[in-house]
Structure 1
Amino acid sequence: MNLLSTSRSWLSVSRPPLALPTISLGLASPRLGLTLARFRSVLAPRKVEWPKRQKRRLPVPTGGATKGTTLSFGDYGIRIKGNGARLTQKQLLAAEDAIKRKIKVVKGAKCYMRVFPDLPICIKGNETRMGKGKGTFEYWAVRVPPGRVLFEIGGAPIRAELAREALRQACHRLPTMMEFIDRTAVPRLGNLLLEPQTLETSSPVTAKA
């Protein structure tokens, strides 16, 4: 076998195609043709039909519904006391990080977030003339009514003192008044606590003949 045939046989070997690196972005950019992904640390919806919406007012539970005012996953939690609030993505992440940093000493302890920022907030610059359409997107937020549970702690047995301290640090990151609750907490309808009705037993009345 000569040298030319050897070089030809070496060139005829099939090689796998080179894999091009992919870049993950948090924003949709179909023109670039890149692989888009939403990171786990980013609180943002995966798909948005209308990127610009109205802020609207805070919801008020006037119909009597108490869903979301008691614990569902953990043993301790915090819920809004007083007026509702519009919480931003950064505020929720800061509160969640404060809770996880405090309860990481307990093996298996988890932090549950009961709300999710899916409201796009658009802001126009200062000293801008009227018109020219709606402002540009700035951040994600969520409208939370009064009495709604925001964070829960569970997954493993944890002392009430440690859970109270972790949730207290989370309350300092939120711009509203909160209250500490546990499994024995009653539902809240706005600013009204729905206490269970107690049946009053009375002695039977004996009828006279």
Structure 2
Amino acid sequence: MFSLLSALPTLRHATAPVSIPNGTFGARFRNQIAPRKVKYAKRQKGRIPIPTGGSTRGTTLAYGEYGIRIKGQGVRFTAKQLATAEEVIKRAIKVVKGAKLYMRVFPDIPVCIKGNETRMGKGKGTFEFWATRVPTGRVIFEVGGVPIREEIAREALRLGAAKLPTTYEFITRNSPPRLGNMLIEPLSPSIPPTPVTTLEPSQAS
């Protein structure tokens, strides 16, 4: 005979709260760009990196045919800014069937903020939003996937750049890499010098 008392342990186990793994926090909605899991719940503010080592990685196109990269100073993007720009660019390239948008940066740094007029101490503030630090010359968005007219890609990326801080430049596959504020132009092939024939005194006479 079925007894309600015998089913109590099963019911109690079914309604137990699910434990969240360590390192997972923050709301992640459908329209929010956020990592699924991070190692540390809170991080220091940090500084925007400056490319002083001579590396040009991330300053040229890798997936698409056209793109934009930072021309002004480095900046810290928030997840909301990147999501807004991504939505605007996707809406603009929708007229081209099969066109794709590639985002080369991702907000994976948690930013914590304390309230105004709060006394010092008592730990770090609470989680507020996701962000990422991007240096000068880094590519932000790329458009490609299928052959697309340059006018459409330029206008779509211009609308997306208007939603982001700092200044940008439109680049193609032929654009040279950038090291900070300098463009690394390819070396032109040098013309070998014409060999000079030296005449001996006997031959000159």
* TM-score of the pair, normalised by structure 1: 0.81
SS in 2 for 1:62: coil
Tell whether 2:121 aligns with 1:142. Answer: no
Q: Percent identity?
A: 66
Q: Which of 59, 64, 76 is the matching residue for 2:66? A: 76
Q: Which of 171, 176, 181 is the matching residue for 1:186? A: 176
The C-alpha deviation readout for 1:182-208, integer Å capped at 9, x for no partner, is 011000001110001112213222233
SS in 2 for 1:207: coil
Residue 174 of structure 1 aligns with which residue? 164
Q: Distance in 1 between matches of 2:48 and 2:195?
A: 50
Residue 198 of structure 2 aligns with which residue? 207
Q: Distance in 1 between matches of 2:91 and 2:42?
A: 35
Contact 1:80 1:178 in 2 (8 A): yes
Q: Distance in 1 between matches of 2:47 and 2:163?
A: 22
Tell whether 2:122 aligns with 1:132. Answer: yes
Contact 1:79 1:148 in 2 (8 A): yes
Tell whether 2:98 aligns with 1:94. Answer: no
What is the identity, as a one-letter code, of the residue corresponding to 2:166? T
Structure 2: stretches of 5+ with no match in the other structure: 1-17, 22-26, 201-205
Q: Distance in 2 between matches of 1:105 and 1:29?
A: 45
Q: How many residues align?
A: 177
Contact 1:82 1:190 in 2 (8 A): no
Deviation at 1:39, TM superposition (A): 5.4
How is 1:6-45 mapped onto 2 (pairs within 5 angstroms)? Answer: 30=20, 41-45=31-35
What is the identity, as a one-letter code, of the residue corresponding to 2:20? P
The C-alpha deviation readout for 1:162-181, integer Å capped at 9, x for no partner, is 10000000111101110000
Contact 1:147 1:189 in 2 (8 A): yes
Question: Alpha carbons of 1:193 and 1:126: their partners in 2 closer, same or farther (altered >3 Å)?
Answer: same
Greater percentage in helix: 2
* TM-score of the pair, normalised by structure 2: 0.82
Contact 1:81 1:177 in 2 (8 A): yes
Structure 1: stretches of 5+ with no match in the other structure: 1-27, 32-36
The C-alpha deviation readout for 1:97-131, integer Å capped at 9, x for no partner, is 01000000100000000000000000111111111
SS in 1 for 2:142: strand
Q: Distance in 1 between matches of 2:20 and 2:73?
A: 41
Residue 160 of structure 1 aligns with which residue? 150
